[in-house]
A and B are shown apart, each in its own frame.
Chain A
Amino acid sequence: MLSIQDVAMLGVAVIGGGAALLVVMSRNVVHSALYLVIALLSVAGTFLLLGAEFLAWAQVLVYVGAVVVLILFGLMLTRAPIGPMPQESDVGPWFPLVPAGGLFAVLAYLTFTQFGDQRIDLTVVRTSALGEQIYVAWAFPFMVLGFFLTVALIGAVVIARREEGEGPISAEERETLEPTYTDATSRPGRVSPHGGARDAVDTSGTEGPVPDEVRS
């Protein structure tokens, strides 16, 4: 007999699973990022149904609020081909179904045999109780986590910073390009969505990325 929580959980799962499928299947990366919002919101709904209220709102705040916006900014900054890539993975769209489907079969079998008749008696975990656990029992790991986040933030800034003489265009090319930077068509990454950008790399001479003979 399905209780009202079961029905709500099934609805959230159907919405979230469908959105996750659309994230993976969508040919347009911006559409994928927007479907990711729905998928992560359904995860937050699952947390609410499991009684984890603080975690649910943290999920909304961190993932929907910050991570998806970060991904959209990344798409903006890379001026990457947002539309479909020329061809997807070498192995084709069907081969990855084998590990994914096999894993799902194993997980679903184990879930139904081990937890098929297990009931969860729902109790809401108050934010104050969770905070007491974090700041008393888990105080040191929590501080380590804060330090870790600081290190990751600084690391991201250091990695993403433009350094001298770096990039796909050579120095004299950049000098000629920089004054007319408002002219969007003359920027190096903008030549054409697919083939042109690679040509810009190949003509960049010695300052560009590693030539093919060194790479292979």
Chain B
Amino acid sequence: MNASFPLLFAAVLFCIGVYGVLSRRNAVMVLMSVELMIAAVTINLVTFGAIAPVVQREHVGQVFALFVLAIGAAEVGIGLAIVLLLYRNRASVNIDDADLMKY
């Protein structure tokens, strides 16, 4: 398989994630966009792990991808807890409302 195809797919996912983070205000939408970016990084790790011979023998790329998977799951849990708290205190999930530490 041509190595540029999965890398290009990862680039597409990452850039769509960047666009989502920048353009949406709903905090849950921002979390979902971050998930897309994490998935893109995981694809890159596995692809580079499959390209490099030494790395491929020890499966380092897949081990790291597994770690990223677990950390991404934890990030979603914490992120949704924060969104829940934000909604309870501000009655809104608009991230523009969470500007207490901005100035």
Q: What residues make up the interface of A, taking CB atoms closer than 8 Å to B?
A: 3, 5-6, 9-10, 12-13, 16-17, 20-21, 23-24, 29, 32-33, 36, 39-40, 43, 46-47, 49-52, 54-55, 58-59, 62-63, 66-67, 70-71, 73-75, 77-81, 85, 88-91, 93, 95-97, 99-101, 103-104, 107-108, 111-112, 115-120, 122-123, 125, 129-130, 133-134, 137-138, 141, 145, 148-149, 152-153, 155-157, 159-160, 162, 166-168, 188-189, 197-198, 200-201, 209-210, 215-216
Q: How far is the CB of A128 from chain B (nearest CB, A)?
A: 11
Contact indicator A21/B16 (Cβ below 8 Å): yes
Contact indicator A156/B80 (Cβ below 8 Å): yes
Contact indicator A148/B33 (Cβ below 8 Å): no
Contact indicator B31/A96 (Cβ below 8 Å): no
Contact indicator A71/B28 (Cβ below 8 Å): yes
Residues of chain A lying within 8 A (CB to CB) of residue B25? 85, 88-89
Contact indicator A74/B28 (Cβ below 8 Å): yes
Q: How far is the CB of B50 from chain A (nearest CB, A)?
A: 5
Contact indicator B59/A200 (Cβ below 8 Å): no
Contact indicator A168/B7 (Cβ below 8 Å): no
Evaluate whether A55 and B26 lie within 8 angstroms (CB atoms) in the complex, with A13-B12, A197-B91, A209-B89 already known.
no
Residues of chain A lying within 8 A (CB to CB) of residue B2? 6, 9, 116-120
Residues of chain A lying within 8 A (CB to CB) of residue B87? 78-80, 189
Q: Name A63's contact: one of B31, B35, B56 (CB within 8 Å).
A: B35
Number of interface residues of B (CB under 8 A): 75
Contact indicator B28/A80 (Cβ below 8 Å): yes
A199 nearest CB neighbor, chain B only:
B91
Could you tell me which residues of chain B, from 2 to 29, have a CB within 8 Å of some CB in chain A?
A: 2-9, 11-20, 22-26, 28-29
A107 nearest CB neighbor, chain B only:
B11
8 example contacts (A-B, Cβ-Cβ < 8 A) are as follows A23-B16, A24-B19, A47-B43, A63-B35, A63-B39, A70-B77, A74-B28, A130-B63
Residues of chain A lying within 8 A (CB to CB) of residue B7? 107, 111, 115
Evaluate whether A100 and B62 lie within 8 angstroms (CB atoms) in the complex, with A80-B26, A201-B90 already known.
no
Evaluate whether A3 and B88 lie within 8 angstroms (CB atoms) in the complex, with A46-B9, A80-B28, A108-B8 already known.
no
Residues of chain B lying within 8 A (CB to CB) of residue A47? 43, 46, 65
1/0 contact string of B33-75 vs chain A (CB within 8 Å): 1011001001100110011000010111011011101111111
Contact indicator B12/A17 (Cβ below 8 Å): yes
Contact indicator A120/B3 (Cβ below 8 Å): yes
Contact indicator B1/A119 (Cβ below 8 Å): yes
